[in-house]
Every structure is written in structure tokens, then in C-alpha cells.
């Protein structure tokens, strides 16, 4: 083999390895994206997109625009850098709208020559459509490299990889959020219907939900756990639907028989919710939300046998029951409620939950709790 | 100039890492089969070893264990290349003295970054 042939082969090999390296880089990016994208919310997806573009391309400005299907308009979902484009301007830029239906990214080397874009203050931009399975989802706008260079074909390829993937994930996440919103909305409507039967319980569920989520946050629960806690709190009293009106609205003290009947509502609630196949943990939580930490409750579960969400709801529920009027007694002060809950810590309530509750109370009501520490 | 030894049975991975590291000015020694790894490491005395876990004959973990029990070689840091889904095995590997795990397919660019971070000042 001649020297020149050998050199040509060497050069070929060098180019091949270089190409291989780029492909491998892209492959690793895809793997990383699959991992970080899965299970993410729309907000988290946008954060990941921006973070990934920031590390891959050294640019000054990144914006993720989403397309509102019903208004047929783009809006800024998330942006970093010098992105100061209002909705009105966004609507006017035809190029952005046209890009939505395109399959691939495009660069514009000199934005300043374009009438509709020159006001934005960018020099060169790179646009990539975010596409769902059938319809456009949005647009990624990347502007001006830090080193003032133009965008290369490698940059376009990279953005294409990210955007083609991200579009599908955003579409899915939007759908999931829609379903979730419908689900939560349906639960809220049930609760409203339930609470409409009794003046005394109006707003109780929403307040308990708020308190429970606050306590959950103090306990450091994850986003998923908080979401579950929220659903459980909204549903916790659903069993009261089977409690007769005259009992729910009875003025004055309840007799033993009436208490017995009222106390069954967690179990009735769990029974009603047994239709929620696959949500055993939610049903368990509803069933257990009046269990006592020391095992003296209706079912007799104790400590960790009671789901954490139920132990949290128990405290939130008690706090609201004490601080609001009930037909059988008048409301008491926050101070009184706190003392009452603390004195039942370790017996009725989980001490760790009570501690978290106290931290939340301290930060919300600015009450100093030094003399009312729970029994841990 | 720091010397990095790369041991992997996949020729393309080997070529790719070699090319990337050499361009950054590092000295690179590659090895495609694992049987002679220990003796080659003893010969070359690299500053860092990038080792593939899954290799026929002798696995990367075995090589690493031998390395760490050899007082002459035990100080050489080892980066282990693993396949996806093998993360669970990391706990197993922790006692073998692997300094860093890199999941395949890795980004050649970030591999270079962490290699330079480790031996770049040599």
C-alpha cells in the first residue's frame, strides 16, 4: 500500500471516529433525556430542556414557548437570559407561527434584517418546533451564542434531538395534567355536594386539605406524596354522605348512639371508594383517618400501621374541628387547639406529625411554642 | 502529561475515547483484552484507568479488585464503564475501590471533562 493510500485511510478513520463520537454523544443525550423526562411535569420538562440546552450550547437566551390549542396562540412558558417578548409581540411574529408546523429546527443568522423580529434585540437565533403526536406543542427559541459566533449544523442537530423528544413528553405531561385537573375537579365537586348538606361543614374539607399539605411539606414529603395526601384530604369525609342530615346538623351534644354512627364515616368512606380500583393506599388512608396512634381507635391500628397520610389528616382535621364552630360546641382559639393537639400527641396523634404541625403553626400564626412541645 | 489507560473489548469505544483524550493532550494506552490487564498496568503505570465492567474472560470488577489489593498499584484511580441498568450493582462495586461509575452510552465530552478534572494538572 502506498504512503498516500495509507494517509487517505488514516484520514478516513479519523473522520469516522469523529462522526462516531458525535453519534455517541447524541445517543448519550437521548438516554439522559429519556431518564430525566420520564414522569416529569410540564414545568419540570421545560426546566430540563433549558438546563440541557444551557450545558450543550453556550447561548445567552433560551425560551420555551407553548402553543395554546384553544386560543391558537403561543405563550412564553419559561425563559432564561434576555427574553422580554410580550404576548402581543409573540402573536405578531409570523415566523414563530410558521415554525410550529415544521418538522425541523432552523437558524436565522441575522435577525436584524427581518422586519418583524428586529425589535427583539437578538442577532442570530435558532428555532426548533416542539411537536406532539399529531399537533404542534410549542417552540424552543435559542438566541445568540456567548462567543458571538453563528450557529453550526451541529447545534441544529442537537436542538433537533432535544426538541423532537421533548415535544412528545410535553404533550403527554399536558394530557396527564388535564386528566389530573379533571379528577381533582370532580372530587371537589363531590365534596361541595357533600358539604352543601350541612352548614357546619362548609369549607371544612378545603381547609383540612390546606393544613394537611402544609404539614406534609414540613415533613419533607415528595411532590408525589403531597399529591396523594391532597387527594386523600379532599376525600377524607366522603363517608359522611351516608350519615343522616338530622345527625350532621343536630344542635347540642350527640348521644352515645349518635357518636357511634358518626364514627363509622371513615369505614363507610373507604367502602364507597372501593370503586377506585388500584388506589388501595388512598382507600386505606380514608379508612384510617380517625385511628389513634396508640391503637385505641375504631379499627385498632397503631403507629406506623396507620398510613402516614391518615396520621397527618388526623391532626389537620382535629385542628379545623376545634377552631371552627360545630353544632355541638362553639369554636375555640388557635392556642387552645394547639394545646389540645399537643396534649394528645403520642396517644391520639403521631408525635412526629404533631411536631411538624407545630413548626407550621409557628411559621403561620407566629405563636411561640416553647412551652407546648409535643410528647416526643 | 498524564497517562490514561483504557481497557474495553469494544473497539469503537476504545478508538473514540483514545481520540477524545489524545486531542486534549493526554497520553493514552489502550487494551482490548482483559487477561493481560494487570501485567500491562504494572508496565505502564498509568495515572488513571478507565475500565469496562463487562468484558469476556476477566471482568472490570475483578481487575479492579486485584489492582486494589496490590500495594504497588492500589493508588491508581479507576473509572468504571457500566451498562445501563447496572446501577444497582454499584453497591457491590463500592468495596472494590472504583472511584467513579460512568454509564454507557456516556457523553464523550463529559468523560473528557471528568478525566481532565482528575488528572489534568499532572
pLDDT in tens, A34-69: 888 988 899 999 999 999 998 888 888 999 999 988
Specify the pLDDT at position A108. 79
The parent domain of residue B113 ranges over 3-119
Q: Quick check: B105 and A27 CB within 8 A?
A: yes
The CATH number of the domain holding residue B110 is 3.40.50.2300
A375 has a pLDDT exceeding 60:
no
> What is the pLDDT averaged over residues A126-144?
90
Chain A, chain B: beta-carbon pairs less than 8 Å apart: 31
Determine the Cα–Cα distance for residues A174 and A69; give it in Å rounded to an integer. Answer: 12
> Which residue of chain B is at minimal alpha-carbon distance from A35?
B84
| Least Cα separation, residue A359 to chain B (angstroms) | 37
pLDDT digits (tens, 9 = 90+) for A177-209: 999 899 889 988 888 888 887 777 778 888 999
Side by side, the strands of the sheet bearing A125-131 are A73-80, A59-68, A136-145, A125-131, A106-108
Sketch the domain layout of chain A as residue ranges: 39-175, 197-372
Interchain CB contact of A26 with B (< 8 Å): no
| Least Cα separation, residue B120 to chain A (angstroms) | 21
* Interacting residues of B46 by C-beta distance below 8 A, sequence separation 6+: B3, B4, B5, B29, B76
> Which residue of chain A is at minimal alpha-carbon distance from B105?
A28
Q: Write the residue in B20, B84, B103 that is nearest to A21 by C-beta.
A: B20
| Least Cα separation, residue B105 to chain A (angstroms) | 5
Which CATH number applies to A39-175? 3.30.450.40
Domain count, chain B: 1
Q: Which among A15, A28, A33 is the top mutation candidate for probing chain B, defined by the most B β-carbons within 10 Å of its own β-carbon?
A: A28
Q: Which of A12-26, B14-28, B97-111 has the highest mean pLDDT?
A: B14-28
Specify the pLDDT at position B94. 62
Higher pLDDT pick, B91 / A265: A265
Instruction: Write down the CATH superfamily of domain A197-372.
Output: Hypothetical protein af1432 (1.10.3210.10)
Q: Quick check: A14 and B19 CB within 8 A?
A: yes
| Least Cα separation, residue A27 to chain B (angstroms) | 7
Q: Which among A13, A18, A23, A24 is the top mutation candidate for probing chain B, defined by the most B β-carbons within 10 Å of its own β-carbon?
A: A24
Q: What's chain A look like in SS3?
A: CCHHHHHHHHHHHHHHHHHHHHHHHHHHHHHHHHHHHCCCCHHHHHHHHHHHHHHHCCEEEEEEEEEECCCCEEEEEEEECCCCCCHHHHHHCHHHHHHHCCCCCEEECCHHHCCCCHHHCCCCEEEEEEECCCCEEEEEEEEEECCCCCCCHHHHHHHHHHHHHHHHHHHHHHHHHHHHHHHHHHHHHHHHHHHCCCHHHCCHHHHHHHHHHHHHHHCCCCHHHHHHHHHHHHHCCHHHHHCCHHHHCCCCCCCHHHHHHHHCHHHHHHHHHHHCCCCHHHHHHHHHCCCCCCCCCCCCCCHHHCCHHHHHHHHHHHHHHHHCCECCECCCCHHHHHHHHHHCECCCECHHHHHHHHHHHHHHHCCCCHHHCCCC
Interchain CB contact of A17 with B (< 8 Å): yes
> What is the pLDDT averaged over residues A328-333?
75
A249 has a pLDDT exceeding 60:
yes
Higher pLDDT pick, B115 / A260: B115
Amino acid at each position: 500500500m502506498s504512503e498516500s493510500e495509507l494517509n487517505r485511510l488514516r484520514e478516513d478513520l479519523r473522520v469516522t471516529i469523529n462522526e462516531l463520537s458525535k453519534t455517541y454523544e447524541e445517543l448519550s443525550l437521548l438516554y439522559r433525556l429519556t431518564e430525566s423526562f420520564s414522569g416529569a411535569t410540564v414545568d419540570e420538562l421545560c426546566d430540563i430542556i433549558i438546563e440541557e440546552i444551557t450545558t450543550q450550547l453556550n447561548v445567552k437566551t433560551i425560551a420555551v414557548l407553548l402553543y395554546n390549542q384553544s386560543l391558537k396562540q403561543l405563550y412564553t412558558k419559561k425563559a432564561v437570559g434576555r427574553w422580554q417578548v410580550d404576548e402581543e409581540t409573540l402573536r405578531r411574529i409570523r415566523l414563530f407561527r410558521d415554525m410550529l408546523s415544521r418538522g425541523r429546527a432552523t437558524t436565522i443568522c441575522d435577525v436584524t434584517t427581518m422586519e418583524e423580529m428586529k425589535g427583539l434585540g437578538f442577532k442570530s437565533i435558532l428555532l426548533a418546533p416542539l411537536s406532539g403526536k399529531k399537533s404542534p406543542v410549542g417552540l424552543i427559541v435559542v438566541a445568540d451564542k456567548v462567543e458571538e459566533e453563528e450557529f453550526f449544523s451541529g447545534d441544529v442537530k442537537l436542538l433537533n434531538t432535544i426538541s423532537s423528544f421533548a415535544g412528545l413528553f410535553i404533550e403527554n405531561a399536558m394530557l396527564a395534567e388535564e386528566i389530573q385537573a379533571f379528577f381533582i375537579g370532580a372530587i371537589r365537586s363531590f365534596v361541595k355536594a357533600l358539604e352543601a348538606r350541612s352548614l357546619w361543614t362548609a369549607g371544612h374539607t378545603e381547609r383540612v386539605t390546606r393544613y394537611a399539605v402544609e404539614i406534609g411539606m414540613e415533613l419533607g414529603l415528595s411532590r408525589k406524596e403531597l399529591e396523594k395526601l391532597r387527594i386523600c384530604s379532599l376525600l377524607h369525609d366522603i363517608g359522611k354522605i351516608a350519615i343522616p342530615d338530622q345527625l350532621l346538623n343536630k344542635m347540642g351534644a350527640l348521644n352515645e348512639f349518635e357518636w357511634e354512627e358518626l364514627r363509622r364515616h371513615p369505614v363507610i368512606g373507604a367502602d364507597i371508594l372501593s370503586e377506585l380500583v388500584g388506589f388501595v393506599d388512598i382507600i386505606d388512608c380514608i379508612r384510617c383517618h380517625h385511628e389513634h396512634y396508640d391503637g385505641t381507635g375504631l379499627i385498632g391500628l397503631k403507629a406506623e400501621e396507620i398510613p402516614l397520610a391518615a396520621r397527618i389528616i388526623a391532626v389537620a382535621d382535629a385542628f379545623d374541628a376545634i377552631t371552627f364552630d360545630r353544632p355541638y360546641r362553639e369554636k375555640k382559639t388557635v392556642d387552645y387547639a394547639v394545646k389540645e393537639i399537643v396534649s394528645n400527641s403520642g396517644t391520639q396523634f403521631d408525635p412526629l406529625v404533631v411536631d411538624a404541625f407545630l413548626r407550621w403553626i409557628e411559621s403561620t400564626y407566629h405563636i411561640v411554642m416553647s412551652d407546648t412541645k409535643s410528647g416526643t | 502529561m498524564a497517562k490514561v489507560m483504557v481497557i474495553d473489548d469494544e473497539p469503537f469505544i476504545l478508538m473514540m475515547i483514545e481520540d477524545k483524550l489524545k486531542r486534549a493532550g493526554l497520553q493514552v494506552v489502550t487494551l482490548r483484552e482483559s487477561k493481560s490487564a494487570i501485567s500491562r498496568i504494572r508496565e505502564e503505570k498509568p495515572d488513571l484507568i478507565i475500565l469496562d465492567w463487562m468484558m469476556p474472560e476477566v471482568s472490570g470488577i475483578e481487575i479492579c479488585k486485584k489492582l486494589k489489593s496490590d500495594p504497588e498499584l492500589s493508588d491508581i484511580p479507576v473509572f468504571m464503564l457500566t451498562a445501563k441498568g447496572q446501577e444497582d450493582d454499584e453497591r457491590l462495586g463500592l468495596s472494590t475501590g472504583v472511584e467513579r461509575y460512568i454509564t454507557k452510552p456516556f457523553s464523550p465530552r463529559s468523560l473528557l471533562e471528568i478525566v481532565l478534572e482528575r488528572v489534568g494538572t499532572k
